Structure 1
Amino acid sequence: MFLGTHSPRLDEKGRIILPAKFREELSSGLVLTKGQENCIYVFSAREFEKVLDQMQNAPLANMAARDYIRIFLSGASDEVPDKQGRVTIPATLRAYAGLEKELVVIGAGSRAEIWDAHAWNEYLAAKETAFSATDEMGIPGIS
């Protein structure tokens, strides 16, 4: 499970040092892909298989499902961290998420997310008030 907020930097080769708390779960491989709100989703290889299984159950006749799956999978990159826990973020994903040197990596339960630090701070400022005001009827699946 991925929890917490971490502040790594992107090096000159487009690599990030994974947070120490995440390394064990990601050590045998991970998948990076485009996430909503222009962040990068980070899945363990095992969790990505579960997500892929769910996607394959989407009806082929549904255009929104086809579009989503195309974007999600065409941007995906499977990676293996090196011995120092570094992983390269492909240039296309860095551009999609607008990643500069300062990053934020957050735990989001079954996945981690990589954000440009400025984008994350703006997102957080805009969403924290709504989070505080959310009632039990506001989020599907959460009781």
Structure 2
Amino acid sequence: MSARRAIGPLSLWLMCSAAAVPATAPAAGQDPAAPSAETLYRLGEADGTQLAQARYCDLPPAEMSRLADALQQAARERALAANVAFDAAAHDAAMRAGFDDFRKLMAAVEAQGSAQNLAQRQAHYREQCAEVRAGIETLIGPLTKQDTKG
């Protein structure tokens, strides 16, 4: 096993999710609890990553729509808490960036994993998707039984 393969797909996925929201120091005169514009953008990227993870885990279109609405509402609330106007276009752009970054990451992981054991890849997929579904249910409520395949 090479050093490059020491990090499995699950670890890469988690690193991508964690890297989407870096810690930033508040600007001079800003409430330390209020997120900066950069942090709000990074949180929007994280929203896009979460949406991409849901799509990767085959969340049905109706649930994807509920999730997207909940993510946008959460972004509105973050902007309100930061005393800034919510910019839907900027949030959509940040979400698209996070979505695209995750898609590229998964394409790279899948390309590397072609030699990996199929059963091991399926186990990683089930583990990742169980975590994604749990996060989604925390945000939008329980998924219907037919929506929890995998």
- Which TM-score applies when normalising by structure 2? 0.27
Considering fraction of residues, name the structure with more strand. 1
Q: Which has the larger radius of gyration?
A: 2
Higher helix share: 2
With a CA cutoff of 8 Å and minimum separation of 6, indicate the structure with the bigger relative contact order. 1
